[in-house]
Amino acid sequence: MGALQDVLGLHPLSLALHTKIGNIWVGWLRKWQKRYHRAWVQNSRFTSSEGKDMESSKIQKIFYPEGIMVVGVSDTPTNLGRNIIENLDRFGFKGPIYLVGKEAGYLNGRKIYTRIEEIDASIDLVVFLIPAVLIPEALEICGLKGIHYAVIESGGFSEFADENESLEEKILDIAKKWRIRFVGPNCISIVNLENGLVLPFVPMEPGRIKTGPISFVAQSGGIVNYSLRLASCENLGFNKLISMGNKLDLDENDYLEFLISDPGTKTIGLYLESVSHGRRLMDLAASTQKPVVVLKSNTNRASNQIARFHTTALAGNDEVVSSALSQTGIHRVDTLQEMMNAFKIFNLPFMKGPNLAIISRSGGSAVMAADAAHRYGFKMIPFSEDFFNHVRKKVRAGVIRMTNPLDLGDVFDLEFYKEVLERALQEEGVDGVLFSHSYLPGIDEMTTKNLVRSSMELSSFYQKPVCLCLMPDSSEWIMMRKTADFPIFTEPDDALKALALSLKHYRNKFEADFHPCNTFEIPSSKGQSTRKQSDKIFSPGEVFELLRGYDLPVADYKLVKDYEEALGAAALIDYPVALKIADSDVVHKTDVGGVRLNIETPDELKRAFQDLKGDCFLIQKMVNMGHEVFIGGKHDPEFGPVILFGLGGIFVEAIKDVVIKVAPITEREAGEMIQGVRGSALLNGFRGGLKADLESIKRCLVSVSRLLYEHPEIQQLDINPLIVLREGQGCMVVDARILSIAECSLNKRGFQ
């Protein structure tokens, strides 16, 4: 215990900055630890099943502890542990707080102990701000004392050096041994504004943080701080803030599960640089009606594709993330400001339909708003004549057109704007209102504040969203945004983009036809199995038989070795036939001249055989007069099996027009995939063309998604082309390839 005691009072910046002196300390302490530390327990992470044994609802004690211990405190002004204690006092945490540091003393009237063992009290949560190499021993002592929850704010783990991964493994082993769940490491900690549990090591002021219904989880402590500053500019209130750090134990899914059941949280935001176990994230998001908004960064890594399968390389990792999030009703945004706009819109009643009323004090703003409304899929239905007659009472010159959008530039009675807004909300069929208002500073300030107040009251009364856009002018506008209890937007485009999220959320979560599959979790017997065979590309015969086993229609075929066998096969299948090289290593047969089509006689078959080189060939019934489409599959490292759909043949690569979803999918989702490609009009009989059998495509998509889901060892799958016949006549697989991988395991961190 001596070495641990000696460094408890070190300034934590020396740990986080990793100076040369700090590295010398780390090296010396490692030698000490190897000599004196207890034997390691078995080396394994928490698995998914063990995570379920300790349900995330039980991490409530992390956010509502009755007693706290902070390890790494001193009474020196620059000590970061001291900041934690002062934050707790400033925000009014009521539970007992115990301090442990290098030197005995007092801080704010509380005793500083020099050993964890000295504290004889009931403690729910321990916060560590000590050197990384000392965490295992300290955690072991806490386990012996019956403490089951921890926040590890210390840095110096795998984010600093790869060799420190063994240190992380040791911490996980000890945590597993004592059934300890922990936040971090390498984080600025957590905040619960309901009870004053404010644990970051940076000073925080109650007057600068508003309490509200939003909870935010971030993989970066800096993003948490930046989000607080942005939110303060918008008068947005937070309930809980979580800096995940390295996500060594608890990850975004654990926090999301907790926040879904948290009564104080109405809207959830996530900032992610990586996704841990994406399918659990999808299941959780699908289970809640609370809005979940995600900002996913780190999108430019080269995708881990196998070059031989060009078509599935169209599904880059970030495209899969976007599709997976959308599939379960998660709202993805691209910037923190966009996330703030989403938070604002979800403070309003939901937009329950596409019909929008636009009211503006400026004709130009009305035009811009109308353009944005069209861009985001809103409809501007006409106002009633009664509505227009009411507006005409205040019109001066009569130069404005009575339309939707409505330009109020000829109405100078600003108090009348409230009546116009209320009448618009009363209009039959109007689902929401965008009110764009520019005002003169110092002149229209009071009437504008009244308009903000009226917007809040009317939006609440009619349970319809009112997006209020104030054109910025001077510090009055800035102060209004910071103090108004009603969300204020600047640009109509920002407001309507956010309003589109509200409409999407309502449709996804409250309308009956949105039902993703029951679960995205891979059954443990499949996802955690280890495949002993080496990587292999299936032979054409193996591929076709597997597809037939999942009720996919495959064109009649025979594998042959020479012309005599081919002649017999062609007679059995019936002409016309196609002849193809049956070599697993050849991906694009047309590129190497390995395909001969529309062979109608034995002589043509003989000539085709003389042209092709190989040891094995495939004779297949020709399928003509149909659309070529592509169905693909790949194994994503974060979300596992995903399915792709697009126009087939060479066009899938030339146009790159594909839609992606995580497998398995429902029939409704299959229909969305078909209509989601830009070339879907061709399948619908564009300009008198062949109308494809869309129902047969749906069935194939659902079947392939089930195949991928039940065989997660499949790394790549190409069905290209699938020939789709006229409506009612079905479709036919004429070419397909499958690559399986040697090992496919599903653990807490996803697919590896």
pLDDT in tens, 574-625: 999 999 988 766 655 555 568 899 999 999 999 998 888 888 899 999 997 8
Which residue type occupies 14? S
Give the Cα separation of 47 and 747 in Å (integer).
Answer: 6
User: Is residue 649's pLDDT more than 80?
Assistant: no
For the chain, how are helix, strand and coil distributed in percent, rounded to 5? 40, 20, 40
Residue 265's domain is classified under what CATH number? 3.40.50.720
Pair 408, 388 in one domain: yes
pLDDT tens digits for 468-491?
998 766 677 778 888 888 999 989
User: How many folded domains does the chain comprise?
Assistant: 4
Sheet containing 97-100: give its strands across: 105-107, 110-113, 97-100, 68-71, 125-128, 149-152, 181-183
pLDDT for the residue 663: 96
pLDDT for the residue 58: 80
Residues 62-87, mean pLDDT to the nearest whole number: 97
pLDDT tens digits for 79-118?
999 999 999 999 999 999 999 999 999 999 999 999 999 9
Give the Cα separation of 477 and 485 in Å (integer).
Answer: 14
Pair 670, 745 in one domain: yes
Of 401-410, 435-444, 515-524, 688-697, which gets the smallest average pLDDT? 515-524
pLDDT level of residue 311 (50, 70, 90 thresholds): very low
CA angle 541, 555, 709 (to 5 degrees): 60
List helix spans (H) across 463-581.
474-483, 492-510, 524-527, 540-549, 563-573
Q: What percent of the chain has pLDDT over 70?
A: 82
pLDDT level of residue 261 (50, 70, 90 thresholds): very high
Residue 371's domain is classified under what CATH number? 3.40.50.261
Of 101-115, 346-360, 401-415, 655-669, which gets the smallest average pLDDT? 401-415
Asked if the structure places residue 309 within a domain, the reply is no
Q: What percent of the chain has pLDDT over 90?
A: 65
Residues 622-631, mean pLDDT to the nearest whole number: 91
Structure tokens at 116: 């964890």
Asked if the structure places residue 38 within a domain, the reply is yes
Pair 177, 281 in one domain: yes
Pair 608, 657 in one domain: no
Residue 643's domain is classified under what CATH number? 3.30.470.20
Q: Residue 733 in contact with residue 722, Cβ under 8 Å?
A: yes
Give the Cα separation of 648 and 657 in Å (integer).
Answer: 10
Of 265, 280, 298, which marks where a domain is finished?
298
User: Is residue 531's pLDDT more than 50?
Assistant: no
Q: Residue 291 in contact with residue 215, Cβ under 8 Å?
A: no
Burial 97-109 (b: 16+ CB within 10 A, else e): bbbbbbeebebee
Burial 387-412 (b: 16+ CB within 10 A, else e): bbeebeebbeeeebeeebbbbbbebe
pLDDT for the residue 321: 94
Give the Cα separation of 387 and 401 in Å (integer).
Answer: 13
Of 243, 272, 298, which marks where a domain is finished?
298
pLDDT for the residue 19: 33
Pair 617, 699 in one domain: no
pLDDT level of residue 313 (50, 70, 90 thresholds): very low
Of the candidates 386, 460, 458, 363, the residue with the CA atom closest to the CA atom of residue 417: 458
Q: Select, from the ranges 41-55, 123-137, 305-319, 639-653, the one with the highest average predicted confidence (pLDDT).
A: 123-137
User: Is residue 739's pLDDT more than 90?
Assistant: no
Q: How far is CA 526 from CA 45, 708, 714, 747, in A?
A: 19, 11, 11, 12
Pair 460, 587 in one domain: no
| Residue tagged 């009448």 (tokens) | 423
pLDDT level of residue 342 (50, 70, 90 thresholds): very high
Please give the mean pLDDT across all residues of the chain. Answer: 85
pLDDT level of residue 740 (50, 70, 90 thresholds): confident
Residues 288-317, mean pLDDT to the nearest whole number: 65
Report residue 183 CA to chain centroid gap: 20
Q: Residue 506 in contact with residue 348, Cβ under 8 Å?
A: no
pLDDT level of residue 679 (50, 70, 90 thresholds): confident
Pair 589, 656 in one domain: no
> Taking the model in full, what pTM does it have?
0.86
Q: What sign does the CA torsion over 190, 192, 197, 202 have?
A: positive
User: Is residue 521's pLDDT more than 80?
Assistant: no
- Report helix, strand or coil for 348: coil
Neighbours of 140 (CB within 10 A): 22
Which residue type occupies 323? S
How many Cα atoms occupy the beta-carbon half-sphere of 541 within 13 Å?
A: 7
Structure tokens at 174: 């000890």
pLDDT for the residue 161: 54
Residue 588's domain is classified under what CATH number? 3.30.1490.20
Pair 280, 403 in one domain: no
Report residue 525 CA to chain centroid gap: 26
pLDDT level of residue 298 (50, 70, 90 thresholds): confident
Pair 382, 491 in one domain: yes
Sheet containing 577-581: give its strands across: 557-560, 617-621, 577-581, 595-599
Pair 279, 201 in one domain: yes
Of 602, 621, 640, which marks where a domain is finished?
621
Q: Residue 741 in contact with residue 535, Cβ under 8 Å?
A: yes
Q: Give the contacts of 647 (CB within 8 A, at least 6 positions apart).
A: 627, 628, 629, 630, 655, 657, 677, 679, 682
Comparison of pLDDT for 477 and 710, the residue scoring more: 710
Asked if the structure places residue 168 within a domain, the reply is yes
The helices-and-strands tally (H runs, E runs) of the chain is: 27, 32
Asked if the structure places residue 326 within a domain, the reply is no
Structure tokens at 462: 């009619």
pLDDT for the residue 440: 67
Residue 568's domain comprises 557-621
User: Is residue 31's pLDDT more than 90?
Assistant: no
Residues 656-671, mean pLDDT to the nearest whole number: 93
| Residue tagged 């495949």 (tokens) | 531
Give the Cα separation of 685 and 726 in Å (integer).
Answer: 10
Asked if the structure places residue 499 within a domain, the reply is yes
Of the candidates 179, 295, 291, the residue with the CA atom closest to the CA atom of residue 227: 295
User: Is residue 383's pLDDT more than 80?
Assistant: yes
Asked if the structure places residue 325 within a domain, the reply is no
Asked if the structure places residue 548 within a domain, the reply is no
Pair 399, 503 in one domain: yes
Asked if the structure places residue 134 within a domain, the reply is yes
| Residue tagged 């190497």 (tokens) | 592
Pair 83, 208 in one domain: yes
Residues 616-638, mean pLDDT to the nearest whole number: 92
Bridge partners (DSSP) listed for residue 112: 99, 105
Residues 349-353, mean pLDDT to the nearest whole number: 98
